[in-house]
Structure 1
Amino acid sequence: MKKVLIVDDASDCRLMIKGMLNNQGFGIIEADNGFDGWKKILVERPDLIFLDLHMPNKNGFEILKDLEEEWMGIPVVVVSGDSTQNAIDSCFMYGASAYLHKPINKQAFVDALKVLD
């Protein structure tokens, strides 16, 4: 079973992503801040990460940089309300596989899951 980690300080966003993953056979892990998310990445070694950018304790940009520095190779789908081109470019520069805007478009979500194929 593939493991998916959802790192987002907004419980409603985590719930929405879990609902969109429902019945797809993933083991779902959650973290409500970046620090806890990073700890779960190190312990759980998920197959895919859904990552918010603006969170307390450790933001999504820091997690992307840490993943790159550690050469972990875990695909990351950024899910953020930040639609600035600078934020999007930075995420891809640090290895994000996809960037989804909140609220999440269902087809874009399905397309982002293709990184697991």
Structure 2
Amino acid sequence: MPNNIKIAVIEDDENLRFLVVHRLESEQFQVIQAANGIDGEELILREKPDIVLLDWMLPGKSGSEVCENVRQNGFNNLVIMMTAKSQDVDKIDAYSFGVSDYITKPFNMDVLVAMVENKVKYFVSQPVENLSFGNTEHHPSIHTLIRDGKRIELTILENRILLYFLQNIGRVIGRDELMEVVWGYSSNLNTRTLDMHIVRLRKKIEQNPDKPCYLITVRGMGYKFVDDE
């Protein structure tokens, strides 16, 4: 893994911050840190790290406020929110403050490193371009669709699913593969959860979600994304 990747850890829990920083440094990442939202925001805008690990609950300014402010100031790199398990992940999705992804506490350090390495591989080393299908543009870094000049917000998981399909247009993708790519670090997932997210995604990308023309079900195999335009 390249050692020129800079990661900011914004976390007020001193023990957790020490553990995360120590582990990331041992993986040869450059790590900078702050213990509150005000210092964290200044650090992000000054140092422009490749990835920000940002705690949801921070003194001074909340993680959501920090994320929203740095986005408004032109920071476009990855922001991963660290959030307690008791908090509703869809609540994070509902806010349009520009978080790229999330990880729930308590997390295993191996899981965190695997997630960061995945982000470096797919987003930092080769920044993801905006993709389009039909008359719709997908902006994966801000999990948004643009259609006819209107913005359609995607949840974090919908964004991951759509991005993978757009990177694999025309290929049949099995449910197991999709779950591994999208959830990766969550083994207690069932296919019904995946299918539910597909249904929600179709409502945002299809003219008629009941008769999809982009995201097709391949019976007994999985799904396929088709773009004939």
Name the TM tier (shorter chain): 0.7 to 0.9
- Paired position in structure 2 for 1:7: 10
Q: Is the contact between residue 77 and residue 112 of structure 1 (CA under 8 Å) also seen in structure 2?
A: no
Q: Which runs of 5+ in 2 are unaligned?
A: 122-229
What do you get for the CA RMSD once the two structures are aligned?
1.9
Equivalent position SS for 1:43: helix
1:78-117, aligned counterparts within 5 Å?
Answer: 78-81=81-84, 82-90=86-94, 93-106=96-109, 108-113=111-116, 114-117=118-121
- Cα distance per residue 1:55-101 (max 9 Å; x no partner): 1111100011112222311101111215224532246x322222111
1:34-49, aligned counterparts within 5 Å?
Answer: 34-49=37-52
- Cα distance per residue 1:19-50 (max 9 Å; x no partner): 33142221111100000001111211111100
In the alignment, structure 1 residue 61 sits paired with structure 2 residue 61: no
Q: Which runs of 5+ in 1 are unaligned?
A: none
Equivalent position SS for 1:66: helix
Equivalent position SS for 2:74: coil
Q: Is the contact between residue 34 and residue 60 of structure 1 (CA under 8 Å) also seen in structure 2?
A: yes
Equivalent position SS for 1:112: helix
Judged with a 3 Å threshold, the aligned counterparts in structure 2 of structure 1 residues 108 and 95 are, in CA distance, closer, same or farther, namely farther
Following superposition, the deviation at residue 105 of structure 1 comes to 3.2
TM-score by length of 1: 0.85
Distance 2:82 2:109 in 1: 12
- Paired position in structure 2 for 1:74: 77
Q: Is the contact between residue 7 and residue 51 of structure 2 (CA under 8 Å) also seen in structure 1?
A: yes
Identity of aligned residues (%): 28
Distance 1:18 1:38 in 2: 18
Higher relative contact order (CA 8 A, sep 6+): 1
Equivalent position SS for 1:99: strand
- Figure out how many residues of one structure are paired with residues of the other and give that number: 116
